[in-house]
Structure 1
């Protein structure tokens, strides 16, 4: 893999969570979340991106979202459950992504707001079509994802180096 080839990051917010009397980290998906996670997985498959790596928060709702979404993909990437993604700021998420080996081209990061939305905004110095306008209008609801492309090594990932290629969110 050449660092000259564009890399893609899909920033995927967990699906709708339930609110039982448990610690935030232990919250499971709601019924709607389970449905939306599978639909999001089909939409991820429709992007045509072959993921080399999935970086997933250790929270129950992100793990459940990924488990349901990945079944819709034609290729199951290596998955790493990363504690630092839970409650991470955009800067902390960039630090996690900077550690990605350069033989990895495409990554899906399954995390939480406001960090995931913030990272999509921070990385996207440019945007294709109406992707930025759609993301600004819809916000980043549960099960939404943004596709960002950038050139260079993972260590060079920093604010404004990317292009927002696409944005998808489930229907309300």
Structure 2
């Protein structure tokens, strides 16, 4: 069996929704950019280098991903990560190519926290992941068979 790692990352702090015509257009704040860069630093220090990335189509998730500084990794931008729910996002993960051992998923709450809780019930705090929150799940097996995966690490990045 292949050991697989799923890194769930909630986007960094975004601008006030009242300042934008649509939610999907909201960019990161200055703090959000710093926190996202800190998330990238933490991933590198933890030895977590993704082989592939699934990312929401929202501006704030794209900017979060850019700040992580994970070069030369294939990225798929997926609208269903933006709209949720966790079940749909899990289906996307289950379709990842078998050659991928470490997958990074950049998305939104409540979907990201709900997915983490689905994989490892009650492992996260009651409030789920904060902005720039990271949940690392690891399991033996295939992406297509993913139904449960213990939470092996978590971190909230602040820059």
Q: TM-score, normalised by structure 2?
A: 0.92
- 1: distance between equivalents of 2:49 and 2:126? 28
In structure 2, the residue corresponding to 1:162 is in which secondary structure? coil
Which whole-Å deviations, capped at 9, do the CAs of 1:16-35 have from their partners, x for residues lacking one? 00022220011000111011
Partner of 2:89: 93
Which whole-Å deviations, capped at 9, do the CAs of 1:62-121 have from their partners, x for residues lacking one? 00000011x2x4x54111111111021111111000110111111000000000001111
Superposed, 1:56-75 pairs within 5 Å as 56-69=55-68, 71=69, 73=70
The answer to whether structure 1 residue 26 and structure 2 residue 13 are counterparts is no
Which whole-Å deviations, capped at 9, do the CAs of 1:118-152 have from their partners, x for residues lacking one? 111110169xxxxx3xx316631111110001111
The runs of 5 or more residues in structure 1 that have no matched partner are 127-131
Which whole-Å deviations, capped at 9, do the CAs of 1:24-61 have from their partners, x for residues lacking one? 01100011101100001101111212211011000000
- 1: distance between equivalents of 2:77 and 2:48? 20
Contact persistence 1:59–1:86 (CA under 8 A): yes
Superposed, 1:1-172 pairs within 5 Å as 4-19=1-16, 20-69=19-68, 71=69, 73=70, 76-124=72-120, 132=123, 135-136=124-125, 139-158=128-147, 161-171=148-158
- 2: distance between equivalents of 1:170 and 1:21? 25
* Number of positions where the alignment pairs a residue of Structure 1 with one of Structure 2: 157
Q: Which runs of 4+ in 1 moved over 6 A?
A: none
- 1: distance between equivalents of 2:20 and 2:52? 33
In structure 1, the residue corresponding to 2:125 is in which secondary structure? helix
**For the structure 1 residues 171 and 67, does the alpha-carbon distance in structure 2 shift closer, same or farther, using more than 3 Å as the test?**
closer
The runs of 5 or more residues in structure 2 that have no matched partner are none
- 2: distance between equivalents of 1:124 and 1:76? 30
